[in-house]
């Protein structure tokens, strides 16, 4: 049980929403624009987690050497952004227990923030489309602040927004990015086992526990 918790910072991709198919469609439409062959969904998912720029660089690195990939980067990023905005949320789905978990956290009096490395222009419409936006007082995307997870800056910003000490805040996410950011910020951290985590086992990540759903996470958190 995590005690004396006043707020939760929750990740988006791989934590609340299975967005793998959205990434798959948008990336492969971008690759088609560049005359490249499609990639398997799992290959793309393994590149997810450290922001859109990193995703595009990893995707281009499949076909190009570093110098050549850089030449195509801006074109690829623009194409990917256009395609993603067109299909944002169309192929994604809520994980089990997400709505119940968020509601249970609210019922306990926890303040909620969503912090993701997804660009804010993708994040806000997606939260609205999936009925999640109203749960969160604060939403930060990967381009909302100068640094993104695994840097602690976004988590520390939420703590400041809420007027809380980091020890009163728990981060919940599917990857090492969330755990590293939380540890560096001084927050508690819970991980879910069903997300992406760069293709690596979440059981190797330093956290305060693994919960099967956000509803289970809510049960593990106490405001007292």
Q: pLDDT tens, 79-97? A: 999 999 999 999 999 999 9
Largest CA distance in the chain: 57
Q: Is 11 a catalytic residue?
A: yes
Average pLDDT for residues 126-154, to the nearest whole number? 98
Can you tell me whether residue 90 is helix, strand or coil? Answer: coil
How far, in Å, CA of 189 to CA of 165, rounded? 14
pLDDT recorded at residue 41: 96
pLDDT surpasses 90 at 32: yes
pTM value?
A: 0.95
Does 90 count as an annotated binding residue? no
CB atoms within 10 A of CB 151: 16
Which residues are bridge partners to 188 per DSSP?
170
How far, in Å, CA of 34 to CA of 191, rounded? 37
Does 67 count as an annotated binding residue? no
Of 109, 117, 105, 99, nearest to 11 by C-alpha is: 117
Strand pairing category for 93-94 and 17-18: antiparallel
Does 151 count as an annotated binding residue? no
Which residue of the set 11, 18, 22, 178 is catalytic? Answer: 11
User: What are the tens digits of pLDDT across the range 7-29?
Assistant: 999 999 999 999 999 999 999 99
Using CB atoms within 10 Å of the CB of residue 42, give its burial: 0 to 12 exposed, 13 to 18 middle, 19+ buried: exposed
Can you tell me whether residue 66 is helix, strand or coil? Answer: helix
Three-state secondary structure readout of 97-118: CHHHHHHHHHHCCCEEEEECCC
């Amino acid at each position: 049980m995590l005690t004396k918790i006043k707020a939760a910072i929750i990740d988006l991709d791989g934590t609340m929403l299975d967005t793998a198919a959205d990434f798959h469609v948008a990336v492969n439409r971008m690759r088609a624009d560049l005359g490249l062959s499609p990639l398997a969904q799992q290959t793309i998912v393994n590149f997810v987690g450290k922001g859109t720029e990193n995703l595009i660089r990893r995707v281009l690195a499949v076909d190009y050497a570093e110098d050549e990939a850089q030449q195509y980067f801006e074109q690829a990023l623009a194409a990917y952004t256009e395609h993603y905005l067109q299909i944002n949320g169309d192929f994604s789905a809520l994980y089990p227990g997400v709505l119940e978990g968020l509601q249970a956290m609210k019922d306990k009096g926890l303040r909620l923030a969503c912090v993701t490395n997804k660009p804010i222009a993708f994040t806000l419409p997606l939260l609205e489309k999936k009925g999640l936006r109203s749960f969160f007082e604060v939403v930060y995307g990967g381009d909302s602040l100068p640094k993104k997870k695994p840097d602690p800056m976004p988590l520390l910003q939420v703590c400041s927004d809420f007027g809380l000490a980091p020890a009163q805040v728990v981060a919940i996410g599917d990857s090492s990015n969330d755990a590293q950011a939380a540890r560096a910020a001084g927050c508690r951290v819970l991980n879910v086992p069903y997300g992406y985590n760069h293709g690596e086992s979440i059981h190797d990540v330093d956290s305060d526990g693994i919960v099967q759903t956000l509803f289970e996470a809510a049960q593990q958190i106490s405001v007292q």
